[in-house]
Structure 1
Amino acid sequence: MLNTIPPASASRTHAAAARSYTNARPRPLDARRGTASEPAVPAPEEVRVTIHCETSPAASVRGNETNCLHEHELHLIGAAPARLRVGSGIDEETHRFAPGTVVLLGPRLPHSLVFEHRPLHGAGNAGSLVLRFGDEPLRRGMELFPELRDAAPLLARARQGVQFVGLNEGIVSRLRRIEMLQGLARFAEFTVLLNELSQWSEYRLLADAAFTDDSLGEHMAATRIHKALDHIRDNYVDELSLAEVGAIVGMRENAFSRSFRRATGQTFTDFVIGLRVARACRLLASTRQQVSSICYEVGFNNISNFNRHFRRIKGMTPGEFRAECQRPGVPAPSVS
C-alpha cells in the first residue's frame, strides 16, 4: 500500500527539503570506495587549494633559523631589494636581487634558504608577491593531462632555484593578475604563466644540484664525484679543467672543487697529475720509449713541467726511475 502525503504537508516538506539542499555543502567522494562520504568540518589548516598567492613578508627569517620549502615558491621581488642564502656552512651562497626580479624556488631546497628584505626609502616590501603551489599535485596532473609535462624541465630546474633574467612586463603582469583571481580563473591564468616561464630561455640557477635535496644530497654528490673520476681516468691525457668536468657531472666549479677534495683527499689538479705520473712510471718500467715521448703521451705539455712533477711525486727524475727499475737484484720502485 502506498503512503500518501496531504497537499499542505507536501508543500512544507518540499520547502524544508529545498532549504536543506540549498544550505548543504557538497559531499566529497571517498576515493577508496567511490561513494559519497560524510562531510567533516575541516580545520583551517586542512583546507587545500592548488595555488596560494600572498604578499611577501616584510622581513624573513634571520640568524641561525632555518626554512626548508616543501612546495614551489614563485617570488616577485617588490620595492625592496632581496637577499637569498642557499646552503649552509662553507657551502652557503648568497644572491642579491633587485626590485622586479622573479625567482622560482623548488621543494626541499637547503635548510638555510631565507629571503631578507631591506626597506628602501621607507617603501617597505610594497609590490612583492609570492605564489605557492605544491609539487605533488602537478606531478599527478601530468599523468592525467600530458600537456602539463611541458613544465617538467622547469620544475626540475626549480629544485636548484631559478632566477629569470629579463622577463617582459606581460609575464610580470600575469603574475600580478593571479593575485586578483580565484578558483578556475586563477588556475587557468597560472597554467598560462607556467607555460611562459617554461619557455623562457634566459635564467640563472642559484644552487648546485648536489645540495638541493636534504635526503639525497650526500648520495647525489657521491654519484657525481664517481662519474667525474670515471671521466678523468678515461681522459687524463687530454686537457682537463675543473669547470669542464664539473659541468659534465652537473656541478658548478666551486662546489665541484670542494666535493672532489672531500671525496679524494686531493685537489682536482693533483689528482690528474698523479694519474699522469703513474702512467708514465708504467711506461718507463715496461718500454724503451724516450722520456720526452712518454711526457707528451701521458698528457704533459712540456718536458720541464713533467720532470718537475715527477720528481715531486716520486722523489727522483724519470731517468733515475727507469734506471732503478732496470737494476738487477734491486726491487723496482712503485709505479703507482
Structure 2
Amino acid sequence: MKPILIKNTSSPNLSFTIEERIKPHFSVPYHFHNEYELTAILKGRGSRFVGNHISSFDNSDMVLIGKNLPHHWHNDKGASHSNEEVKAIILKFDADFNGVRLFDLPENYQIQKVLEKASSGLRIVGETFNKLVSLMQSLLTAKGPDRISLLLKILYEIAVSDNLEVLSNQNHIPANKSNDYDNDRMNRVYEYIMNNYLEEISLSKVAEIACMNEAAFCKYFKKRYNKTLMQVVNEIRINYACKELLKDDANITEVCYQSGFNTFSNFAKTFKKITGTNPREYKMKIKKLEK
C-alpha cells in the first residue's frame, strides 16, 4: 500500500471547499492531493500521520497540510460506533483560483510564506486554534465575497501566529516525487503497526516486512521519523490507553494490558513520559473536568 492520489472536485460556483464531517470514523485512507488542506478535529482521538511525522491527536487538533503531503488520521481501536465519534471541519483550497494567483499578490506575502512552510505540515495550537475554529465555522455558511475574505483571514491568522509546530522533518519527500518502492515499504510497516499495536510488536518481524535487516531498519526508521519504532508504537498505545481511561468502569491495570504493555511498571513509566502524569492522576483529572 502506498499513499494514494485523491483528486478533489469543487462546485463550478465555488473556488474552494469547506465541509463539516460527523462520522463514526475516518474513512479516507493514507493519501495526498494537489490542494492545501486545513483540518480541525473537534471530536475524536487516535493517531495522526503527516509526511514522516507520527503522533497522537485528540479533540483539539488542527493541521495545515501542504500540497502533495501524505496524511491520514486513524481512529483508536475499539472506538464506539456513535455517529459523533469523529467531528471535523476540513477546508481545501488551491493556490490557483480559476487562473487567479491570489496568494502571489504583494499584500499576501505573509500567507505565501506560511503556505511554503505547510509543505512539512503545521500543527496549530493555543489561542490561534480557538480563533481559527470560530472563523471556519463562520466560513461553513458564508456566501459570495465573504468566503474569500474569511479564507484570507484564516490564512493570515496562521501566518502571524506563534502557535505553530512544524511536523515533518527535512528528510520528507513529497509523495508525487518519492520512490514508489520506498512508499510501499514504509506503508507495509505502517499497516502492520496500526493492525497490531495492541499486541507484541517484533522488531525482527517489522524489519522483515520492510525487507531490511534489523540494524539497517532501525537506522532507516529513526532517520525518517526522528523516533525509534518503539517510541512510535508506545505513543499509539498510550493514546489508546488514554481513551480507555475515560470510561467510568475503567480499571487501570486492565487498561495497561489491553494497551499492549507486558508490565504495569513499564506502562506507568511510559504513560508519564508521554503525558506528563501517571495513569491514576490522569483519570482523576479527567473526572474533575467532567464535573
The TM-score normalised by the length of structure 2 is 0.51
After TM superposition, give the deviation of residue 159 of structure 1 in Å: 0.9
AA matched with 1:199: V
Q: Is the 8 A contact 2:22 2:83 kept in 1?
A: no
Question: Any idea what the Cα deviations from partners look like across 1:205-257, whole Å, max 9, x if unmatched?
Answer: 12123324234457xxxxxxxxxxxxxxxxxxxxxxxxxxxxxxxxxxx8897
Higher deviation after alignment, 167-176 or 198-207: 167-176
- Aligned twin of 1:160: 120
Distance 2:43 2:127 in 1: 17
Structure 1 residues 95 and 52: CA distance shift in structure 2, 3 A: same
- Aligned twin of 1:151: 111
Distance 1:151 1:45 in 2: 22
The 5-angstrom pairing of residues 116-265 of structure 1 reads 116-118=74-76, 119=79, 122=82, 124-125=84-85, 127-137=87-97, 140-143=101-104, 145-168=105-128, 169-217=130-178, 258=223
Distance 1:73 1:255 in 2: 29
- Aligned twin of 2:197: none
SS at match of 2:120: coil
AA matched with 2:21: S
- Aligned twin of 1:274: none
After TM superposition, give the deviation of residue 101 of structure 1 in Å: 1.8
After TM superposition, give the deviation of residue 150 of structure 1 in Å: 1.7
Q: Is the 8 A contact 2:103 2:111 kept in 1?
A: no
Structure 1 residues 142 and 45: CA distance shift in structure 2, 3 A: closer
- Aligned twin of 1:104: 64
User: What 5-or-longer segments of structure 1 have no aligned partner?
Assistant: 1-43, 219-253, 260-336
After TM superposition, give the deviation of residue 84 of structure 1 in Å: 1.6
SS at match of 1:159: helix
Question: Any idea what the Cα deviations from partners look like across 1:75-130, whole Å, max 9, x if unmatched?
Answer: 1102212422234xxxx5422112122211111113xx211245579462454210
- Aligned twin of 1:60: 26
- Aligned twin of 2:33: 69
Structure 1 residues 47 and 151: CA distance shift in structure 2, 3 A: same
Distance 1:184 1:207 in 2: 34
After TM superposition, give the deviation of residue 165 of structure 1 in Å: 1.9
Q: Which has the higher contact order (CA 8 A, sep 6+)?
A: 2
AA matched with 2:155: L
After TM superposition, give the deviation of residue 152 of structure 1 in Å: 1.4
Distance 1:93 1:151 in 2: 23
Greater CA radius of gyration, 1 or 2? Answer: 1
AA matched with 1:116: H
Q: Is the 8 A contact 1:78 1:125 kept in 2?
A: no
Q: Is the 8 A contact 1:61 1:115 kept in 2?
A: no
User: What 5-or-longer segments of structure 2 have no aligned partner?
Assistant: 1-8, 180-218, 225-291
Structure 1 residues 101 and 66: CA distance shift in structure 2, 3 A: closer
SS at match of 1:135: coil
Aligned length: 172
Q: Is the 8 A contact 1:79 1:123 kept in 2?
A: no
Structure 1 residues 57 and 115: CA distance shift in structure 2, 3 A: farther
Distance 2:69 2:156 in 1: 23
SS at match of 2:126: coil
SS at match of 1:136: coil
- Aligned twin of 1:7: none
Aligned-residue CA RMSD (Å): 3.1
The 5-angstrom pairing of residues 271-290 of structure 1 reads none
Distance 1:130 1:196 in 2: 17
Identity across the alignment (%): 19
Distance 1:209 1:57 in 2: 34
Higher deviation after alignment, 200-209 or 51-60: 51-60
After TM superposition, give the deviation of residue 185 of structure 1 in Å: 1.0
Distance 1:93 1:163 in 2: 11
Structure 1 residues 61 and 94: CA distance shift in structure 2, 3 A: farther
Distance 1:146 1:156 in 2: 15
